[in-house]
Amino acid sequence: MATRPRLNYGRIFWSVVVFQLVLSFLPMNVGGLILYPFSVLSTWTHELGHAMAALLVGGAPRSVQLFIDTSGVTQSAGVEPGVRQAIVSLGGLLGAPLAGVMMLAVSATPRGALVSLVGLTAFLTLALVLLMGNATGWVLGGAVVALLALGTWKLDREKRFALAQLVALQLLLSVWSGRHYLFAKTAYVDGNQFGSDTEQIANALGGTHFMWGVIVGAIDIALLYGAYRFVRWRLARDERAEATGLAATV
C-alpha cells in the first residue's frame, strides 16, 4: 500500500523564517502590506496576552480594540500598579510568542496542524464575541477568523501544515518583526501616544525600557529555538514509529 509522502519540516520551517524576516526588512512597508493579516493576528494575540495576564493577577479584562494601523489596546480593571502591572505588560509582549510555541508544538504533525488551526480559529471567534470593543476591531478580527477558517477547510494536507507553521512562526517572530516597538519608550495607538510595554515594566520593576527589550527579545529567541528542537524531535519519533510499524508488516 502506498504511503503518504513525508513532509520536509526543516525546509518548511526555515523557509518560513527567512520569508518572514526578509519581508520585515523590505522598504516602504512592502513586507507589512503582504503580511498585513498576520500583523493584525499578532497584534490581536498581543492584546489577548494582556487580557490573560490581567486575569492571572486578579484583574478583569473589559475590552480589546484593534485599529487599521495594526495597533491595539486592552482595557482591564482591577490591575494594581507595580508588579501586577508589569506582569500584564509582559503578558502582551510574550502573548504572541507563547501562542506561537503552543501552535508549533501541537502542529508538529499534519493532523496536529489541523487541530491547531481549528483551535486557534475557535479561540479567536470566542475572543471576538466576548472582548472586541470597536467596529474596526470587529472588521479586522472577523476577517482574520474568516481567512483562518477558509484556509483550514480548503487547503490540502501539506499546504495546511505550511499554513499552521506560517501562523505559528509569525506569532513567534512578531517580537522581532516589531522590533521598533520592542525597544521604544513610547508607542502610538490609533494616533495617541502611550508608554510602551517595556517602559511600563521598567517603571514598575526598575531598569530601562531598552534593557527589558533585550530580555524579552532573548526570551523570544530561546522560545523559537526550543520549539524548533521539540518539533524536530517529535517528527523524528513519529518517523521511527512509522518505520517500525512498516517493518513489522513486511
Mind listing the pLDDT tens digit for each residue in 173-196? Answer: 888 776 678 888 888 787 778 888
Average pLDDT on 239-248 reads 60
Q: Quick one: pLDDT at residue 79? A: 85
d(Cα 215, Cα 218) in Å, to the nearest integer? 5
Lowest mean pLDDT among 79-93, 168-182, 201-215: 168-182
Q: Which tops the pLDDT comparison, 243 or 211? A: 211
CB half-sphere exposure, 248, CA atoms < 13 A: 6
32-48 tens-digit pLDDT: 667 788 889 989 999 99
pLDDT of residue 2: 38
Give the model's pLDDT for residue 120.
Answer: 94
- pLDDT tens for 102-143 read 888 888 777 888 999 999 999 999 999 999 999 999 999 999
Residue 52 contacts residue 35 (beta carbons within 8 Å): no
pLDDT of residue 107: 81
Q: How far apart are CA 224 and CA 43, in angstroms?
A: 18
**Mean of the pLDDT values across residues 216-227?**
88
% of the chain surpassing 90 pLDDT: 43
CA distance 222 to 92: 17
Q: How does the average pLDDT of the chain come out, rounded?
A: 83
Selected residue with higher pLDDT from 223 and 19: 223
- Cell numbers for 235: 517528527
Contact yes or no for 29/47 (Cβ under 8 A): no
pLDDT category of residue 201 using cuts at 50, 70 and 90: very high
pLDDT 10s digits, 134-175? 999 999 999 999 999 999 998 888 788 888 888 888 888 888
228 HSE (CA, 13 A, CB side) = 17
